Amino acid sequence: MKILLVDDSLEDREQAQRELSRRGHEVICADNGGRALELYRKSRPDVVITDIYMPGMDGFALTQAIQEVAAPQWQPVIFLSGHRDEALQVKALKIGADAFAAKPISGALLDARLVVIQRLLTLQRQSQQRADELERYYAGEERDKKIARHLIERLVNAEKLNDPAVRHWVAPTTTFSGDLVAAARTPGGTLHLLLADGTGHGLSASINVLPITAPFYAMTEKGFGIDAIARELNDKVRQFLPPDRFVAATIASVDFRENIVRVWNGGNPEPLILNPAGHAQHVFESRHVPLGILDDAEFEAHIEAQSFVDGDQFICFSDGLLEAMNGDGHGFGLERLASSLVNSTPEGRLEGVMAGVREHLGDRQAHDDISLLVVTCNSRQFPTQSSSGAGTAAAPSHQNGTWRFALRLSAIELREIDVVPLLLDLVAKFRSTREVSGQLFMVLAELFNNALDHGLLALDSRLKLGADGMSAYLAERERRLALLEEGEIEFSIEKLVATGKAWLCVACEDSGPGFDHLAVMSKLDSPDDKPFGRGLGLVRSLGSSCEFNAKGNGIRVLLDLANVAGTQ
């Protein structure tokens, strides 16, 4: 070991140095406390052996100074003294001495004490090495977490949760949450929601939900329905995650124009529609298994639909909310949730549930991630859009910068293809149409739904009347579509230009019998609170012109484009 020997007596110092050197130790000598402290700072010896009484800085003062320099590490100090005063020894031990050795030094006795000290120093070094390794590991973990957190935030696209209709709460049990909440609008203004709960907790659970974020946003942006989105997300979970990993998910759409909530729920607790007082007006069943369990052939994409009135709220949550356990082993449960909802205002409903959960938990940490989405259902949340109303400067014509495509779909394709996103994706390839993508989506959706529901399936909109009317209507639509053997729908979309102006011409024709469009269009301006019959009015408000063929099974709508007649 490296030993700092401090003694003002030359004779005692040389005798001690010989004893220590003979036993293989490296010895550094000092004749006073000041010089010893200087040497200590430079050489950092393993052990300090010092006399007590020295001129200037004595052994007590030197030991205190050395311990301050060495802190927080342990620095062994042995005191040398010709005195055997017990009080002196107690004082030395209190200020940081580890052992006492009598003068003149007994080599064998001192050596035994040094062996013990060396053993303790070895343990200290090993402990410090482990502490350093843990510190490096922790620093690396923090760097990895920072990168992972940045990546997850980017993939989750958290800024889209700033939608004015949406409020949310996510409370992870660790740094990373296995629960995911996401929200985005379709081109037509319908709000899509995703609340996903990955298997497990922490980073691994957070990774479980990542494969479903990008397709959720991409398909919503293209206008796909939540049934198609659910099927795609199921495929992504099966494609990317191990067989023992799955994702419980609630996928919902809130149509603020039609006042309808549609839900696909797989493995999460049952979502609710609340009235302004906080009472459940409708409970959506948990019909499906979580994403990633069934293959595509077995997967069931059936959705449940329910109408709402302005002022209602839609809420969905993960099982972590209900299972949050207090010190008595009781979960938060549906009863406490219902109490929190009823005892809070619509504006403070999210905070009311949060406060209820925190009061229930006390100072305990929930054992599972908690997530909650609250959506205010109000028709004012629908982004109203209207046409420019500008008259045509000249008749539209086919000239440079124009294009046209048509798509005819038979019964087989109508059963299998989500038509509106397909058309929207084709039109989006042309730069000049991007400013009207929202209007175009709504026009395409209305024209297609009218052609399919009424032209080919002969559905009666009066089925939508009543508390469960929308669910009954959609169930009958699904049944008739599955049985459809004949019938066609043809879309054509073209860009027309005239001097300084451009239009998008959207035409839709079905092979059905048609209807008395003059009678229907004449009633559009009459006030009506029925949950149907508003689609054609919306189409008329969005287009600069809206014309039916004589039979009523074909319609042509012109949408104004910006003054970009020279662009594609």
* 483 and 536 both lie in a single domain: yes
Q: Is residue 346 part of a domain?
A: yes
98 with 166, same domain: the answer is no
Nearest-CA neighbor of 181 among 276, 268, 305, 272?
268
- Say if 143 falls within a structural domain: no
> Can you give the residue range of the structural domain that contains 481?
403-561
Residue 135's pLDDT is: 85
| Contact (Cβ atoms closer than 8 angstroms) between residue 198 and residue 208 | yes
The pLDDT score that the predictor gives to residue 155 is: 61
DSSP codes, 176-224:
S-SEEEEEEE-TTSPEEEEEEEESSSHHHHHHHHGGGHHHHHHHHHTT-
Q: Which of 100, 125, 150 is the last residue of a domain?
A: 125
Residues 190 and 274 in one domain: yes
Classify the C-alpha dihedral 267-269-275-280 as positive or negative: positive
CATH code for the domain of 327: 3.60.40.10
Same-domain check for residues 233 and 338: yes
Q: What is the total count of domains within the chain? A: 3
The pLDDT value recorded for residue 79 is 86
Residue 150 belongs to some domain of the structure: no
Cα(246)–Cα(157) distance, rounded to whole angstroms? 22
Q: What is the side-by-side order of every strand in the sheet holding 99-102?
A: 26-30, 2-6, 47-51, 77-81, 99-102
d(CA 177, CA 351): 20
pLDDT at 564: 39
3-state secondary structure of 349: helix
pLDDT at 454: 93
Asked if residue 371 and residue 414 are part of one domain, the reply reads: no
Task: State pTM to two decimals.
Answer: 0.69
CATH number at residue 437: 3.30.565.10
Indicate whether 142 belongs to any domain: no
Task: Return d(Cα 529, Cα 411) in angstroms, integer.
Answer: 33
CATH code of the domain covering residue 39: 3.40.50.2300
Strands 2-6 and 26-30: parallel
The secondary structure of residue 321, as a DSSP letter, is H
Whether the CB-CB separation of 331 and 325 falls below 8 Å is answered with: yes
Q: Are residues 60 and 181 in the same domain?
A: no
Domain co-membership, 107 together with 44: yes
Say whether 129 sits in a helix, a strand or coil: helix
What is the chain's percent helix, strand, coil content, to nearest 5?
Answer: 40, 25, 35
Structure confidence at residue 386 (pLDDT): 41
Q: Are residues 280 and 178 in the same domain?
A: yes
Q: For residue 499, tell me if it sits in a domain.
A: yes
Residues 271 and 171 in one domain: yes
Nearest residue to 101 (alpha-carbon basis) of 5, 21, 18, 180? 5
**Per-residue pLDDT in tens (0 to 9) along the chain, 568 residues:** 899 999 988 988 888 888 888 888 899 999 999 999 999 999 999 999 998 888 889 888 999 999 899 888 888 998 887 667 778 778 888 887 888 777 777 777 777 788 888 888 888 888 888 888 888 887 877 776 676 666 666 666 666 678 889 999 988 887 777 888 999 999 888 999 999 998 876 677 777 788 898 899 999 988 899 999 999 999 999 998 888 889 999 999 999 988 899 999 999 999 999 999 999 999 999 889 999 999 999 999 999 999 999 999 999 999 999 999 998 899 999 999 999 999 999 999 999 999 999 999 998 888 888 999 999 998 776 654 444 333 333 445 555 568 899 999 999 999 988 999 999 888 888 887 878 888 899 999 999 999 999 999 999 988 888 777 888 888 899 899 999 999 999 999 999 887 678 889 999 999 999 988 888 877 766 655 555 567 788 888 888 888 999 899 999 999 988 643 444 5
* Whole-angstrom distance, CA of residue 205 vs CA of residue 322: 19
Same domain, 373 and 433: no
Collapse the DSSP code of 148 into the 3-class scheme (helix H, G, I; strand E, B; otherwise coil) and give the result: helix
pLDDT score, position 15: 87
How far apart CA 280 and CA 418 sit, in angstroms, is 33
Same domain as 376, residue 410: no
